[in-house]
Amino acid sequence: MKYEPVIGLEVHVELNTKSKMFCRCFADYFSKEPNTHTCPICLGLPGALPYTNKEAITKCIQIGLALNCKIVDLSRFERKNYFYPDLPKGYQISQYRWPLCVEGWLEVEDKEGNVSKIRINRVHQEEDTGKLTHSDGQTLIDFNRSGVPLVEIVTEPDFTDPSQVKDYAKKLQQIFRYLSVSNADMEKGDMRLEANVSVRPVGQKELPNYRVELKNINSFRFMTAAIEYEIKRQIEALEKGEKLTQETRGWNEDKRETYLQRSKEEAHDYRYFPEPDLPELKMKSEEERVKEEMVELPQAKMQRFVSEYGISKQNAQVLVELKEVGYYFEKAVKLGEAQQIKPQELANYIVNQKITLASQDQVLRAVEFIAAKRVGIIEDEAVIKKIVLEVIKKNPKSVEDYKRGKLNALQALIGGVMRKTQGKVNVEKVMVVLEKKLKSGDTP
Instruction: Establish if 157 lies at the interface with ligand ADP (CB under 6 A).
Output: yes
Instruction: Establish if 366 lies at the interface with ligand ADP (CB under 6 A).
Output: no
Instruction: Establish if 326 lies at the interface with ligand ADP (CB under 6 A).
Output: no
Identify which of residues 49 and 375 has a Cβ nearer to Zn ion in the complex.
49
Identify which of residues 27 and 290 has a Cβ nearer to Zn ion in the complex.
27
Q: Which of 43, 48, 141, 154 binds ligand ADP (CB under 6 A)?
A: 154
Other residues' Cβ atoms within 10 Å of the Cβ of residue 314: 11
Q: How far is the CB of 96 from ligand ADP (least distance, A)?
A: 9
Q: Contact 437/392 with Cβ under 8 angstroms? A: yes
Instruction: Establish if 278 lies at the interface with ligand ADP (CB under 6 A).
Output: no
Q: Is 71 helix (H, G, I), strand (E, B) or coil?
A: strand
Rounded CA-CA distance 265/262 in Å is 8
Residue 18 burial (C-beta neighbours within 10 Å; 0-12, 13-18, 19+) = exposed
Instruction: Establish if 125 lies at the interface with ligand ADP (CB under 6 A).
Output: no
Q: Is 385 helix (H, G, I), strand (E, B) or coil?
A: helix
Instruction: Establish if 211 lies at the interface with ligand ADP (CB under 6 A).
Output: yes
Q: How far is the CB of 222 from ligand ADP (least distance, A)?
A: 18
Torsion, CA 225, CA 228, CA 234, CA 240, rounded to 10: -110
Q: How far is the CB of 197 from ligand ADP (least distance, A)?
A: 6
Q: Is 330 helix (H, G, I), strand (E, B) or coil?
A: helix
Rounded CA-CA distance 368/318 in Å is 21
Identify which of residues 8 and 130 has a Cβ nearer to Zn ion in the complex.
130
Span from 19-27, 30-38, 133-141, 149-157 in contact with ligand ADP (CB under 6 A): 149-157
**Binding partner of residue 86 among ligand ADP, Zn ion, none, CB cut-off 5 to 8 Å per kind:** none
| Residue of minimal Cβ distance to ligand ADP | 8
Q: Contact 223/195 with Cβ under 8 angstroms? A: yes
Instruction: Establish if 234 lies at the interface with ligand ADP (CB under 6 A).
Output: no
Rounded CA-CA distance 64/62 in Å is 5
Q: How far is the CB of 9 from ligand ADP (least distance, A)?
A: 6
Q: Applying CB under 6 A, what is the total number of residues that bind ligand ADP? A: 15
Q: How far is the CB of 139 from ligand ADP (least distance, A)?
A: 26
DSSP per position, 118-164: EEEEEEEEEE---EEEEETTEEEEEGGGTT-EEEEEEE-S-B-SHHH
Which amino acid, 382?
A
Span from 14-22, 204-212, 273-281, 373-381 in contact with ligand ADP (CB under 6 A): 204-212
With b meaning 16 or more CB within 10 Å and e meaning fewer, what string describes 40-55? ebbbbeeeeebeebeb
Instruction: Establish if 343 lies at the interface with ligand ADP (CB under 6 A).
Output: no
Q: How far is the CB of 17 from Zn ion (least distance, A)?
A: 13
* DSSP, res 262: E
Q: Is 207 helix (H, G, I), strand (E, B) or coil?
A: coil
**Binding partner of residue 39 among ligand ADP, Zn ion, none, CB cut-off 5 to 8 Å per kind:** Zn ion
**Binding partner of residue 8 among ligand ADP, Zn ion, none, CB cut-off 5 to 8 Å per kind:** ligand ADP
* DSSP, res 90: S
Q: How far is the CB of 104 from ligand ADP (least distance, A)?
A: 13
Rounded CA-CA distance 289/282 in Å is 13
Instruction: Establish if 162 lies at the interface with ligand ADP (CB under 6 A).
Output: no
Instruction: Establish if 228 lies at the interface with ligand ADP (CB under 6 A).
Output: no
**Binding partner of residue 42 among Zn ion, ligand ADP, none, CB cut-off 5 to 8 Å per kind:** Zn ion
Q: Contact 257/229 with Cβ under 8 angstroms? A: yes
Span from 2-10, 73-81, 240-248, 341-349 in contact with ligand ADP (CB under 6 A): 2-10
Instruction: Establish if 332 lies at the interface with ligand ADP (CB under 6 A).
Output: no
Q: Is 373 helix (H, G, I), strand (E, B) or coil?
A: helix
Instruction: Establish if 7 lies at the interface with ligand ADP (CB under 6 A).
Output: yes
Instruction: Establish if 19 lies at the interface with ligand ADP (CB under 6 A).
Output: no
Instruction: Establish if 207 lies at the interface with ligand ADP (CB under 6 A).
Output: yes
Q: Contact 15/59 with Cβ under 8 angstroms? A: yes
Q: Which residues form the interface with Zn ion (CB under 5 A)?
A: 23, 25, 39, 41-42
Q: How far is the CB of 152 from ligand ADP (least distance, A)?
A: 9
Rounded CA-CA distance 316/64 in Å is 25
Cα 170 from chain centre: 5
Instruction: Establish if 124 lies at the interface with ligand ADP (CB under 6 A).
Output: no
DSSP per position, 380-423: -HHHHHHHHHHHHHH-HHHHHHHHTT-THHHHHHHHHHHHHTTT
Residue closest to 258 by CA, chosen among 298, 212, 302: 212
Which residues of this chain interact with ligand ADP, rule CB under 6 A? Answer: 6-10, 154-157, 196-198, 207-208, 211
